[in-house]
Amino acid sequence: MTSELRLLSEHACFGGLQCFFEHDAESTGTPMRFGVYLPPQAAKGPCPVVFYLAGLTCTEETFAIKAGAQREAARLGLILVSPDTSPRGTGLEGADAAWDFGHGAGFYLDATVAPWASHFRMERYITQELHALVTTCLPVLPGAVGLMGHSMGGHGALTLALRHPGQYRSVSALAPIVAPSQVPWGRKAFAGYLGPDEAAWAAHDACALIAAGGRLPPLLVDQGLADKFLAEQLQPERLETVCREVGQDLTLRRHSAYDHGYYFVASFIAEHLQHHARLLAPGKA
């Protein structure tokens, strides 16, 4: 089941190790890369793990380089895993044609439409293959798995946690796409990966999943109010409304002046990791 892991690089960082791995993924039929931060505590015993799903155009390196998360992860004793945002080098026609579809834009679902269905299976990759690899090969505290993401990766965190109840004990998002069926980024991706029948889209739309009875652990979401994608693509009020209607626990924080980028992510990452640590290792954070 677990293909061979190839260590691409490792770097001492805040007393722990920032590593990058590659493996031949069965889910996508391609080599896949991911980053792992091992805090100093991981050398002594098992630790909780938080998966971070990145946004459009990002790679497995973006979070590790730009978010400055290792400092707080080292303090809290959290393992961080940062997958790539899609399969790469698929050779599929059109996979490099746009920045918001194809390579770098996997949308954390399993495509059902040709030719994408042959490689773009990021849901299976994240929730099964990489999950199994991480929880068997790394010193992960059994069951202590959190999931978070930014933008497209915030969509991924919400929908994967909703679609796999019980798998993630803590969930959070930064500037997530909360209702992809209703906004241009999501409509383009869903039409491409899932086909034109919108009935199939609701199963990958966080707001629709919550409206249909899906539930998450107490949810933390941060959103910058100077985010240029706020009104057209993100629309956090949709999440706020549906959570209020069904009684889903949501802490949605709006921050004036913050934009969509990693200076925003870096500013709030420590509080997100604290949120995960509280739920994954109660009494320690």
Query: Using CB under 8 A as the criterion, which residues of the chain lie in contact with a second copy when the complex forms?
Result: 11-15, 18, 65-66, 68, 70-71, 224, 226, 255, 257-259, 261-264, 266-267, 270
Catalytic residue among 151, 204, 222, 272: 151
Q: Catalytic pick from 170, 205, 227, 275?
A: 227
Residue with tokens 């007393």: 15
Could you tell me the smallest distance in angstroms from the CB atom of residue 222 to a second copy? 12
| Alpha helix (H) residue ranges in 27-69 | 62-66
Catalytic residue among 260, 272, 275, 276: 260
Q: For residue 62, with 0-12 CB atoms within 10 Å meaning exposed, 13-18 middle and 19 or more buried, which class applies?
A: buried
Separation between Cα atoms, residue 9 and residue 57, nearest integer Å: 22
User: 17 is written with which tokens?
Assistant: 């190790």
CB-nearer residue toward a second copy: 153 or 224: 224
CB of 188 to a second copy, least distance (A): 27
Our answer to whether residue 9 is catalytic in this structure is: no
Q: Return the number of the residue (174 or 194) whose C-beta is nearest a second copy.
A: 174
Residue 100: Cβ within 10 Å count = 17
Instruction: Name the 3-class secondary structure at 260.
Output: coil
If you write DSSP's letter for every residue of 169-204 in order, what string do you get? SEEEEES----GGGSHHHHHHHHHHH-S-GGGTGGG
- Residue 147 to residue 79: CA distance in whole angstroms: 12
Q: Tell me if residue 227 is catalytic.
A: yes
Tell me if residue 260 is catalytic. Answer: yes
48 versus 224: smaller Cβ distance to a second copy? 224
The residue (of 106 and 224) whose beta carbon lies closer to a second copy is 224
Cβ at position 20, least distance to a second copy in Å: 11
Q: Whole-number minimum distance, CB 74 to a second copy, in Å?
A: 9
